[in-house]
Structure 1
Amino acid sequence: MNAPSTVLVTGGAGFIGSHACVELLDHGFEVIAVDNYSNSTPQVYARVERIAGRFVGAVYELDIRDRPTLSAVFDRHSVDAVVHFAAHKATGESTRMPVEYYDTNVGGTTALLRTMHEHGVHQLVFSSSCTVYGDAGHGPLDETTPPRPTSPYAASKWICEQILADVCHRHPEYTVLCLRYFNPAGAHPSGLLGEDPRGTPENLMPYVAQVAVGRREQLRVFGTDYPTPDGTAIRDYLHVMDTVEAHRVALDHLDDGPGMRVYNLGTGKGSSVLDVVAAFSDACGRPLPSEVAPRRPGDVAELVADASAVTRVWGWRPTRDLTDMCRDAWRFQRLHPRGYEGSARRPHTKH
């Protein structure tokens, strides 16, 4: 199979996007990255290049909803495929900012699709989410589980999937792979790249890491009355390196056939909030303080992916577990107690 040689990565400076840039560069792809830096920093590109030993081909500061500016990127580069990460991504925050989530996630995707079509680019790997399944009950959920999104974030991802399916139906030249996963966690094993959200983290792992390093006093556990063994919500955590490896493998399979295909990514093993806290406590060598808070709107008791389909079709499966995620996340946080902005370095970006 002939994988695309030049890949545009949207959200390239973000947590998953920056790790994806490393993965793609490591495997011989040419990478063009765009990001508006709303929840990231251009300083990550120097780290990407240090790890990969190669430069990102070009990086651009832009909002993908700005079609003329995005179009100029396609004019300058011969893009073969797009990996689309750029989006707001927090369930709880989306219930407080629904319009912003729909505008960014859905509006960004439609602007990207229109720009791709104008430039004859018809191959896309889309970062979706297992949150589309919503409150579907206990046990691993496979791709046949009917979507029941319970938050604006989840709904925005489901709407994007429906748009992509409609595009593929109307334009048979398109190939789209939608990857549904929940809670990428961990960091690059070098400790140079990790998760460093702006402001108060909305996701569990970076919040726990900031408590461990002393940036925050204690963790707030949102709900201890869920119908789970320890009363806290259960999620399927996936190491960020496994996550981006799957996206790179997806690029290898874009030539498998036209149309849209949907695959879950996950370990198939659920971890509760208290499981994550215990594992991170082991990683950092001390117990982490926490307090109980009410449930957050939009959260469900359990979301665990049945990811056996992608193993059957591609022969791919994750190889890292929660212990690895906490070890690598702690290494990054320990080396960068104040995050990227607190580290003294000269950023390198190439335009």
Structure 2
Amino acid sequence: MDDLKERLCREADAAGFVACRVCRPDAVPEVPAQLEAFVAAGYHGQMQWMAERMAWRSNPVALWPEARSVIMLAESYTPAHDPLEILLHPDRAAISVYAQGRDYHDVVKKRLKRVARWLIAETGDATQVKVFVDTAPVPEKALAAAAGVGWQGKHTNMVSRELGNWVFLGAIFTTLELPPDAAEEDHCGSCRACLDICPTEAFVAPYQMDARKCISYLTIEHKGPVPHNIRGRMGNRIYGCDDCLAVCPWNKFAVAARDIRLLPRPELKAPGLAELARLDDAAFRAMFSGSPIKRIGRDRFVRNVLYAIGNSGTPDLGPAARGLTEDPDPAVADAARWAVAQLNAL
């Protein structure tokens, strides 16, 4: 099996992945207690699916009892620009790096299927596989750490000494018995860069985050108005937040993205807030076709844009907000009125 695993990792490299490691499905016994504590504290916010599918999400063995190995693969999306530079331009929208290109779910899943098909071709039709890319109850980060891809940093994201933390993770569960890799040790040390930069103080402790305060959660998963005490801290971040990722010192070893589809679309690197506020549903869908941003819909997206307008300190953006104070969506109208009030107070 050692030879098969070596050839598997070569195939994964040829497919575009930057890391290929293996662990057992039962290699993350700590996850159930961690997830239970996270949900019990209410840190999951409106992500009720985390509580409803906790048994599967916390235990890969329960997800597919026949699996004997988990192949964890990583793909880089390292930006060529400084993701924090956009924060210096409050009339422009800050979109998380991962969402500036093609939807990674589509890109990574196609690569996973290619590797899975190769594995079946090499070992026979009796081999069974299942592929997962962040759309099923799989603890990808914990499994990646157990497989030695990296470790979960203090910001709870995957970090690697060879890759930094700009990586997408994919998993191939298989009935094959493959030699497992050693888990990676934690190399965060005394560093607190990711914790200290968080604009909303979402980290209750190292390695622990309250999603209800996280800008990524608030701009993507949270439905309805964002709490008033957090809106002002969101700045011009309208979809996700890269602050904790961008300051990680291990990014000095980050490798460039291999797939041009994951590189930023020019129009999404620094779009104007006024233009985004004018999007109706059809224009929103057209602009974000093939993008993960499309998932949140026009209303939630424009709500986020209006918070950014309110934080911009730019009176010229007032008309864009005033035009939406009677929007049919209550959260959009509320955000528009808030933005107008913020700009009027200047």
Give the TM-score normalised by the residue count of structure 1.
0.25
Is the strand fraction higher in 1 or 2? 1
Is the helix fraction higher in 1 or 2? 2
Give the TM-score normalised by the residue count of structure 2.
0.25
Structure number with greater Rg is: 2
